[in-house]
Amino acid sequence: MRVLRLFIILFVAFRFGLDEFLLGHERVKPLRILVQRLAFWRRLPEPRAVRLRKALENLGPIFVKLGQVLSTRRDLLPADIADELAKLQDRVPPFPSEQVIATLEQVYRRPLGEVFAEFDPNPVASASVAQVHVARLPDGTEAAVKVLRPGIAPVIRNDLALMYSAAWLIQTLWKEGKRLKPREVIGEFERHLHEELDLMLEAANASQLRRNFAGSALLRVPEVYWDWCASEVMVMERMHGTPISQVSTLRAQGIDIPELARNGVEIFFMQVFRDGFFHGDMHPGNILVDREGHYIALDFGIMGTLTDVDKNYLAQNFLAFFRRDYRRVAHAHLEAGWVPPDTRVDEFENAIRAVCEPVFDKPLKEISFGRVLLRLFQTSRRFYVEIQPQLVLLQKTLLNIEGLGRDLDPELDLWTTAKPYLERWMSDQVGWRAFARHVLEEAPHWGVMLPQLPRLLHRSLGQDDSETLRQQLAVVATQQRRQTRWIAGLSLLLIALLAAELVRLLT
């Protein structure tokens, strides 16, 4: 099976002339000459990026998803290839209803008629990993049932094995192979696929996003019906709306399109800067709009998270960019360990200045966040910057949001719309409010550890053996759970009162 699949992949690659990606190294020059002579009949009038996209589409849904992931890695790929791969869409025929029913009855261990009051065997949406059907729960509630494609796991496993082999060849034979880090990219792709293969993870993502926007007048997220969910099935509230790409229909419904565009930007920045948890696949196919103008989010297989470290990095860089302090941007990268330690800060600073200065001299509404990020990634490539996967996903999502917003309202001023959220977030991250919040967060730990410090110091002064000191630290860490609570509680109360008073004075 794997040998046959390998033959098909090689045939498709040869048909679309992808050998030019693999046979550029001098060590395989004889093989390159042989391939060129065997392919004398082949005509390749289309650019390499178009041929690569068509080859991935011919190889099937897993390779299409790989191309979609690769399109986000603009820090690694040439611009022409990244732009072309961004056009890839899942165009997968649905699998037979008999397989759907068999999967559901295997999961629920009873006839389908005993699970749902109604079930439509014809899917309303179909993608590479799963498809969606409409149903009614026993109490009459409308539901959307997402069912995993049967037999998809072994297909993915075989294709991934071949992808890893191809990655090794690319890294070995192509002069750009080592810089592109193909094995790391395939590893990132594998992680995304495994997350999408467990629909309980997607259900948990949807539940978290719904909780984050509970009571919101901007975004609606379907409720998850947990009693009907499993790894192969996700059942959620059915949402009714118009695809956001159908602008003329939305306008006919009386939706304020410019306001809709601004609300999309607001939703994105709330997810990123308020919650640190954002929808990582917000293309038009995953967004509906109801008749009241609320956004409806769908498909929660890819979600991004940002740690406090990520937010601190972003805060420093945003502040430095707004102040045109490019040296601080360069130092932030160096301090984070994202550029080699021997990087010359002045050269890195000059490269960043060359990207940003022409941008800041334009009116704000003419500035593209996405394009600035793309040019920064291209600059980063020259200085061997280690791009973090979660920030690449953030960049991809920002590009989607910006493109969507400008399609809705060409006059959208993304920076002005985003500015209040950025300012509030940066104040929370690096200002006095952040200091007060961190004091409150750390107070319980201080309350427990402070009473231990005199005894720890006394013992350490009498010990020369560092191993003994480490053992003492371990003993203290164990004993702190058993100590009486009144000293800790008193310390915590005092610290909390001081912090609360500080917050009151600042506000």
Q: Which domain holds residue 309?
A: 240-430
Largest distance between two CA atoms of the chain: 86
At which of 62, 91, 120 does a domain end? 91
187 and 303 within one domain: no
Task: Please tell me whether residue 292 adopts helix, strand or coil conformation.
Answer: coil
Task: Please tell me whether residue 480 adopts helix, strand or coil conformation.
Answer: coil
Distances (CA, A) of 307 to 176, 314, 316, 389, 404: 32, 11, 14, 13, 26
What is the per-residue pLDDT for 477?
A: 57
At which of 57, 91, 125 does a domain end? 91
pLDDT-flagged residues of the chain (< 50): 482-488, 490-491, 493
Q: Do residues 240 and 252 make contact, with C-beta atoms less than 8 angstroms apart?
A: no
Domain count of the fold of the chain: 4
327 and 301 within one domain: yes
297 and 160 within one domain: no
What is the per-residue pLDDT for 120?
A: 95
Residue 224 per-residue DSSP state: B
Distances (CA, A) of 214 to 208, 210, 218: 10, 6, 10
What is the per-residue pLDDT for 220?
A: 96
270 and 402 within one domain: yes
d(CA 483, CA 478): 10
Which residues 6+ apart lie within 8 Å of 505 measured at CB? none
What is the per-residue pLDDT for 11?
A: 77
Which residues 6+ apart lie within 8 Å of 480 measured at CB? 448, 449, 452
Judge whether 465 counts as a catalytic residue.
no
Q: Do residues 82 and 73 make contact, with C-beta atoms less than 8 angstroms apart?
A: yes
d(CA 147, CA 94): 11
d(CA 82, CA 307): 27
Q: CA-CA-CA-CA torsion for 335, 337, 341, 343, nearest 10 degrees?
A: -80
d(CA 188, CA 196): 13
What is the per-residue pLDDT for 387?
A: 60
228 and 105 within one domain: yes
**Is the dihedral angle over the CA atoms 356, 362, 365, 368 positive or is it negative?**
negative
293 and 177 within one domain: no
At which of 213, 239, 265 does a domain end? 239
Q: Do residues 248 and 318 make contact, with C-beta atoms less than 8 angstroms apart?
A: no
451 and 488 within one domain: yes
148 and 23 within one domain: no
379 and 252 within one domain: yes
96 and 213 within one domain: yes
114 and 103 within one domain: yes
444 and 393 within one domain: no
Q: Which of 75, 159, 281, 310 is catalytic?
A: 281
What is the per-residue pLDDT for 33?
A: 60
What is the per-residue pLDDT for 484?
A: 46
What is the per-residue pLDDT for 502?
A: 54
